[in-house]
Structures are given as C-alpha cells and as structure tokens.
Amino acid sequence: MDRDAILRKYPPQSENLLALLHDLQDARELHYLTEEDLRAAADHFHLPLSFVHGVATFYTMYSLQPRGRHVIRFCQSPACHLMGGVSVGKTLQKLLGVDFGETTPDHEFTLEMSSCLGVCGVAPAMMVDDRVYGNLDEEKVASILESIRREK
C-alpha cells in the first residue's frame, strides 16, 4: 500500500499517530520510517514535525534507520537470561555477524533486544517478525536462521 492510501485509513485525530506510524513502517520492506513519512504524518494530523519525531523516537519499535527484511527480537528478560539466553544471544551475534541493534549488510536481518516477549515458559525465546521461537539453544537458532533464509 502506498503512503497516501495508508494515510486515508486514519481519521485526522492525533490519537491515531502510533497506529499510523506502525502502518507506515510495516509498509516498507526494511521496516523503518523516513523523514517523508514523519512529515506526512505531521501534516495529516496537523502536528509539529518535532512532536511526531518525539513520538517516533520514544518508542523502541520504531526505527528511523533502514532495518533488515526480518527483525529479530531477542528476549533479554531475566527468565531467558537464567535459562542460557546469554550464550544463545552470543551465538546469534556470531551467526549474523552483527551486534544487537545492528543490521546485516545484506539487509536480511536486524538483531534487536526485547525486554520480555512473554513466553517465559519456553525460555530462552526470540521473535522473528510475528513468529515466536522458544526453548532456544545454539543449534536451534542456527537452523531457524537457515530456514528463514531459505524461505524467500
């Protein structure tokens, strides 16, 4: 969907700003918001650009930088931490060759941290886009990455 079509979905009340930003961001293959997106949102709601920028930078799920086609949210809650999350996280970094907060050069994956994904029963866990993966270990993350790479 192009930007105008997305904008038309939202009535001009500024309470819709968060949802609009989610939509604009999801519409881009690389899951991020451009300056034009922020300007368009500001115009749509008659808000100052600074306000929109303020909102977009307050919430961790919005990104102003291009990200990967897949966003990995690695859970760093204490439950996951205790159940071996640290070494799984290290393995992910090694396999992807990036640090947390970074994107692989081929823009396939962005590795992010999440405060808690709420599947502590199967810790350690991560979410790739909308899918949750639990009971992770070194081998499992490797095969998950592999299968996602193959999917496309």
Partner 1 sequence: MKKRLDVLICGGGACLSSHSQDVKNKFIEVLKAKGLTDEINLVETGCMGPCEMGPVMVVYPDGSFYVQLTENDVEPIVEEHFLKGRPYQKKLWAAPEARKIVEEKRQVPFFEKQQKVVLALCGKIDPESVDEYIANRGYEALGKVVTEMTPEAVIEEMLKSGQRGRGGAGFPTGLKWKFGKASEGKQKYIVCNADEGDPGAFMDRAVLEGDPHSVIEGMAIAAYSIGADKGFVYCRAEYPLAIKRLEAALKQARAMGLLGKNIFESGFSFDIEVRMGAGAFVCGEETALMASIEGKRGQPRPKPPFPAQKGLWGHPTVINNVETLAAIRHIILNGADWYASIGTEKSKGTKVFALSGKVVNTGLVEVPMGITLRELLYDIGGGIPNGKKFKAVQTGGPSGGCIPAAHMDTPLDYESLTKLGAIMGSGGVIVLDEDTCMVNVAKFFLEFSVEESCGQCAPCRIGLKQMHDLLEKICEGKGKMEDLDLLESLAHTIKATSLCGLGQTAPNPVLSTMKYFRDEYEAHIKEQRCPAGVCKDLISYVVDESKCIGCTACARTCPVSAISGAPKQKHRIDPSICTRCGSCIVKCPVKAIYIGPGAVKREVESKKLHLEKTL
Residues in touch with partner 1 (CB under 8 A): 13-19, 21-22, 45, 54-55, 58-62, 73, 77-79, 81-84, 86-87, 90-91, 93-94, 114-123, 125, 127, 130-135, 138
Q: Which is nearer to partner 1, 90 or 149 (CB)?
A: 90
Q: Which is nearer to partner 1, 71 or 103 (CB)?
A: 71
C-alpha dihedral over 17, 48, 101, 112, to 10 degrees?
A: -10
CB of 18 to partner 1, least distance (A): 6
Strands laid side by side in the 70-75 sheet: 102-103, 109-114, 70-75, 126-128, 131-133
CB of 32 to partner 1, least distance (A): 13
CB of 151 to partner 1, least distance (A): 15
CB of 103 to partner 1, least distance (A): 17
125, 132 in Cβ contact below 8 A? yes
Q: Distance between CA atoms of 48 and 102, rounded to whole angstroms?
A: 30
- Do you find a cis peptide bond into 66, omega within 30 degrees of 0? no
Q: Which is nearer to partner 1, 5 or 59 (CB)?
A: 59
49, 34 in Cβ contact below 8 A? no
Q: Which is nearer to partner 1, 18 or 30 (CB)?
A: 18
